[in-house]
Amino acid sequence: MTEPAAAPPAPTSPPTGERPASSIWGGRFAAGPSAVMEAINVSIDFDHRLLPQDLRASAAHAAMLIRQGIISETDGNAILAGLARIKAEADAGTLPLERALEDVHMNVEGRLAALIGEPAGRLHTARSRNDQVATDFRLWVRDAIDALDQAAEELQTVLIGHAEAHAATIMPGFTHLQAAQPVTLGHHLLAYVEMLGRDRGRLADCRRRLNECPLGAAALAGTSFPIDRRQTAQALGFERPCANSLDAVSDRDFAIEFLAAGALMGVHLSRLAEEIVLWSCERFAFLRLADDFSTGSSIMPQKRNPDAAELVRAKTGRLAGALVQLLTVVKGLPLAYAKDLQEDKEPVFDAADTLGLALAAMTGMLRTATFQTAQMRAAAETGFPSATDLADWLVRAKGLAFRRAHHVAGAIVKAAETAGCKLEELPLAALQAIEPAITDEVFSVLGVERSVASRTSEGGTAPERVREAAAAARLRFLGDS
Ligand code: ARG
Q: List Cβ neighbours of 234 (8 Å cut-off, separation of 6 or more).
A: none
Q: Residue 110 maps to which CATH number?
A: 1.10.275.10
Residue 15 has pLDDT above 90, yes or no: no
The residue whose CA has the least distance to atom 10 of ligand 1 is 130
* Best of 339, 344, 346 for a ligand 1 pocket test (most atoms within 8 Å of beta carbon): 339
The residue whose CA has the least distance to atom 4 of ligand 1 is 342
For the stretch 265-315, pLDDT in tens is 999 999 999 999 999 999 999 999 999 998 887 777 777 899 999 999 999
Q: Residue 441 maps to which CATH number?
A: 1.10.40.30
Task: Tell me, yes or no, whether 344 and 223 share the same domain.
Answer: yes
Q: Which atom of ligand 1 is nearest to the CA of 337?
A: 10
pLDDT at 6: 53
Task: Tell me, yes or no, whether 303 and 391 share the same domain.
Answer: no
Q: Could you give the residue numbers annotated as active site?
A: 176, 297
What is the C-alpha separation between 85 and 368, in angstroms, rounded?
43
Task: Tell me, yes or no, whether 135 and 259 share the same domain.
Answer: yes
* 238, part of any domain: yes
Q: How far is the CA of 240 from the centre of ligand 1 (A)?
A: 23
What is the C-alpha separation between 415 and 81, in angstroms, rounded?
86
Q: How far is the CA of 156 from the centre of ligand 1 (A)?
A: 39
Q: Which atom of ligand 1 is nearest to the CA of 339?
A: 12
Q: Which atom of ligand 1 is nearest to the CA of 219?
A: 10
* 477, part of any domain: no
Pocket of ligand 1 (CB under 6 A): 43, 47, 103, 129-130, 133, 337, 339, 341-342
What is the C-alpha separation between 139 and 258, in angstroms, rounded?
13
pLDDT at 186: 98
Task: Tell me, yes or no, whether 341 and 440 share the same domain.
Answer: no
* Best of 51, 97, 102, 103 for a ligand 1 pocket test (most atoms within 8 Å of beta carbon): 103
Q: Residue 363 maps to which CATH number?
A: 1.20.200.10
CA 129 to chain centre: 29
Q: How far is the CA of 342 from the centre of ligand 1 (A)?
A: 6
Q: Around Cβ 212, how many Cβ atoms within 10 Å?
A: 18
| Final residue belonging to a domain, choices 88, 122, 156 | 122
pLDDT at 422: 92
* Best of 130, 215, 330 for a ligand 1 pocket test (most atoms within 8 Å of beta carbon): 130
The residue whose CA has the least distance to atom 7 of ligand 1 is 129
| Final residue belonging to a domain, choices 357, 378, 399 | 378
* 79, part of any domain: yes
For the stretch 214-258, pLDDT in tens is 999 999 999 999 999 999 999 999 999 999 999 999 999 999 999
Task: Tell me, yes or no, whether 259 and 197 share the same domain.
Answer: yes
Q: Around Cβ 331, how many Cβ atoms within 10 Å?
A: 8
Task: Tell me, yes or no, whether 136 and 72 share the same domain.
Answer: no
* Best of 342, 345, 348, 349 for a ligand 1 pocket test (most atoms within 8 Å of beta carbon): 342
For the stretch 429-442, pLDDT in tens is 999 999 999 999 99
Q: How far is the CA of 147 from the centre of ligand 1 (A)?
A: 26
The residue whose CA has the least distance to atom 2 of ligand 1 is 342
Residue 1 has pLDDT above 70, yes or no: no
The share of the chain scoring above pLDDT 70, in percent, equals 95
Q: Give the CB-side neighbour count of residue 244, counting CA atoms within 13 A.
A: 6
Q: How far is the CA of 112 from the centre of ligand 1 (A)?
A: 19
Count of the separate structural domains present in the chain: 3
Task: Tell me, yes or no, whether 218 and 325 share the same domain.
Answer: yes
Q: Which atom of ligand 1 is nearest to the CA of 345?
A: 4
* 479, part of any domain: no
Q: Which atom of ligand 1 is nearest to the CA of 137?
A: 4
Task: Tell me, yes or no, whether 50 and 162 share the same domain.
Answer: no
What is the C-alpha separation between 139 and 237, in angstroms, rounded?
9
Residue 53 has pLDDT above 70, yes or no: yes
* 239, part of any domain: yes
The residue whose CA has the least distance to atom 11 of ligand 1 is 339
Task: Tell me, yes or no, whether 442 and 365 share the same domain.
Answer: no
pLDDT at 13: 63
Q: How far is the CA of 220 from the centre of ligand 1 (A)?
A: 12
Q: Return contacts of 376-379, CB within 8 angstroms, 24+ apart.
A: 376/169, 376/170, 376/171, 376/172, 376/185, 376/286, 377/169, 377/170, 377/171, 377/448, 379/171, 379/172, 379/179, 379/284, 379/286
Q: Considering only 15-19, 368-372, 385-389, 395-399, which range has the smallest mean pLDDT?
A: 15-19
pLDDT at 2: 45
Domain enclosing residue 392, as ranges: 386-446
What is the C-alpha separation between 55 and 104, in angstroms, rounded?
10
Q: How far is CA 227 from CA 93, 112, 126, in A?
A: 34, 22, 7
Task: Tell me, yes or no, whether 105 and 183 share the same domain.
Answer: no
| Final residue belonging to a domain, choices 337, 354, 378 | 378
* 476, part of any domain: no
Q: How far is the CA of 130 from the centre of ligand 1 (A)?
A: 6
Task: Tell me, yes or no, whether 142 and 105 share the same domain.
Answer: no
Task: Tell me, yes or no, whether 247 and 263 share the same domain.
Answer: yes
Q: Which atom of ligand 1 is nearest to the CA of 43?
A: 1
Q: Considering only 9-13, 15-19, 248-252, which range has the smallest mean pLDDT?
A: 15-19
